[in-house]
């Protein structure tokens, strides 16, 4: 069995318009060798690209209000949450799902990702508010494969190292033997994306307690079996940690404020590790 070791690299918080390519080169310089995996957080890149939306400006529809007021609080808070083996703390949070902010979030998901994703909770359609201030949320990368290739070429140009670049998201991929699937969109060959049937795939994965890992969205510079890629993504995710919090609730609890009251300054006080070097040993 191949074993790996991981080195999470601490950088400053990548704000919008950050030159993330320069940040990556500075962070990995002197630390990588040929054949390494450089695993990068999709969320960090999206934020640096300014691929974010302020939900405070969104006007919620009747559908969004139904999803926030009934679907999240009652359906997820009771039958679906129990079916998915959620803990009591998460069930309590769902039952008290914030209505005003929740309506706006659901409306954005409906507009950007559709009803199938809006029926989920959390990072629906990979639209995520964790590790972002105020009412800002990040959107998924539109061309993760192209971004990964850009990073790989920049590392080769600046440092002369041949590495494999992987962009990952903490949204989960579920595995049943060699069959791997995820509720979100994904372009990695061998991982089936059930974007339109997100609720069913999520509930099945949780109910059956299938093996889970973070989701690799793009891989360039090497060829690996999908189960190996999932293993590397998981190793990187554990090494990286959750930043200011795995969810907006955790983030707000960390700073002891409301979910829409986290500031840029608060986030900059936290160690952020958007990059992980993973190496065979």
**pLDDT per position as a tens digit, 178-235:** 999 999 988 788 999 988 789 999 999 999 999 999 999 999 999 899 999 999 999 9
pLDDT value at residue 122: 79
pLDDT interval class at 277 (50, 70, 90): very high
- Please give the structure tokens belonging to residue 92: 């309590």
Q: Using alpha carbons only, what angle is made at residue 43 by residues 39 and 47, rounded to the nearest 5 degrees?
A: 125
Domains of the chain: 1-281 (3.30.1330.100)
Residues 26-35, mean pLDDT to the nearest whole number: 97
Contacts of 88 (CB under 8 A, 6+ apart): none
Rounded Cα distance, 83 and 90, in Å: 13
Cβ neighbours of 23 (radius 10 Å): 18
**pLDDT per position as a tens digit, 93-145:** 999 999 999 999 999 999 999 999 999 987 799 999 888 998 999 999 989 99
Is the per-residue pLDDT at 245 higher than 80?
no
């Amino acid at each position: 069995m191949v074993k790996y070791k991981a080195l999470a690299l601490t950088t400053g918080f990548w704000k919008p318009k950050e030159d993330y390519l320069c940040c990556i080169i500075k962070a990995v310089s002197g630390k990588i060798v040929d054949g390494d995996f450089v695993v990068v957080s999709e969320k960090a890149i999206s934020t640096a690209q300014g691929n974010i939306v302020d939900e405070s400006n969104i006007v919620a529809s009747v559908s969004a209000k139904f999803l926030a007021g009934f679907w999240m609080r009652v359906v997820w808070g009771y039958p679906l949450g129990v079916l998915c083996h959620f803990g009591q703390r998460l069930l309590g949070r769902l039952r008290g799902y914030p209505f005003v902010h929740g309506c706006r979030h659901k409306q954005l998901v409906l507009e950007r990702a559709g009803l199938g994703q809006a029926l989920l909770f959390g990072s629906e359609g990979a639209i995520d508010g964790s590790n972002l201030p105020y009412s800002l949320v990040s959107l998924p990368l539109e061309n993760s494969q192209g971004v990964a290739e850009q990073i790989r070429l920049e590392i080769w140009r600046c440092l002369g190292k041949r590495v494999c670049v992987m962009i990952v998201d903490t949204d989960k991929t579920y595995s049943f033997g060699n069959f791997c699937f995820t509720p979100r969109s994904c372009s990695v060959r061998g991982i089936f994306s059930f974007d339109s049937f997100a609720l069913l795939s999520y509930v099945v994965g949780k109910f059956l307690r299938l093996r889970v890992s973070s989701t690799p969205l793009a891989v360039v510079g090497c060829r690996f079996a999908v189960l190996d890629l999932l293993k590397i993504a998981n190793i990187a995710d554990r090494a990286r940690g959750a930043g200011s919090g795995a969810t907006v609730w955790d983030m707000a609890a960390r700073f002891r404020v409301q979910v829409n009251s986290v500031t840029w300054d608060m986030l900059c006080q936290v160690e952020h590790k958007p990059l992980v070097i993973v190496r065979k040993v």
